[in-house]
Amino acid sequence: MKTIFTFALSLSLFTVTYSQDKKTEAVKIEELPTVVISQVKKYIPDNNPDAVVRTTQNEFLLYKVDDECKNFDQYLVTLESRKGALQATFDEKGVLVSVSEKYTNVELPREVSKSVYMSYPLWTIVKSKFEYSQQKGEILTKVYHLKLKKDNKTQIVMVNSSGDIITETKDIAMN
């Protein structure tokens, strides 16, 4: 009896440890695919880590074009949030022509933060702006404008979404 009990106990411990021994893979963040709501609305949402930006973009994805826009040459839709706005232009047929998004003080993607802190050690990001625009389903602009501060100096840096520094201004004295 003691042998059966010992065997059952060791078998149960083996199965529990075996089930927990599986390796987990890291989740990869990928670019989001183009979302085609209908034949007239082709929009590529940004894979932004900021929840307010994503919520605004999701609201736009749910937006339905009315027949009212057929009375005009162009139809402008504006969605505002506490951090910025999304503006979309539709033509007289209800086809999405362009989208322009501007947000301030957004959460930065990991690649952008890492690149800035590696390139500018001891500098602090004090302000951020995000610009995103596309026309007819093609992304035109996707940049972060960052204001950096160190001691009594400030610097403006423009960084793309993959962390590459595009432009930078010279040091400016902070008043």
Look up the pTM and report it. Answer: 0.70
Summarize pLDDT for 140-164 with one digit per residue, the tens. 999 999 999 999 899 999 999 888 9
Short-list 85, 157, 83, CA closest to 118: 157
Which amino acid belongs to residue 112? V
Phi, psi (rounded to 5 degrees) for 112:
-70, -50
Q: What six digits make up the tokens of 28?
A: 């990869």
Residue position matching structure tokens 């749910």: 62
* Alpha helices by DSSP H, 63-172: 110-119
Residue 104 pLDDT grade (very low, low, confident, very high; cuts 50, 70, 90): very high
Beta-bridged to residue 132, according to DSSP, are 101, 142
Question: What is the rounded CA–CA span in Å between residue 91 and residue 69?
Answer: 8
Q: What six digits make up the tokens of 18?
A: 């075996």
Q: Which of 34-48, 111-125, 161-175 has the highest mean pLDDT?
A: 111-125
Summarize pLDDT for 22-75 with one digit per residue, the tens. 444 554 545 545 554 444 567 877 778 889 998 998 898 888 877 766 778 888
In this predicted structure, what is the pLDDT of residue 21?
Answer: 46
List domains and CATH numbers for the chain: 30-173 (3.10.450)
Side-chain-side CA neighbours of 79 within 13 Å: the count stands at 19
Residue 4: pLDDT above 60? no
In this predicted structure, what is the pLDDT of residue 174?
Answer: 41
Tell me the CA end-to-end span of the chain in Å, nearest whole number: 85
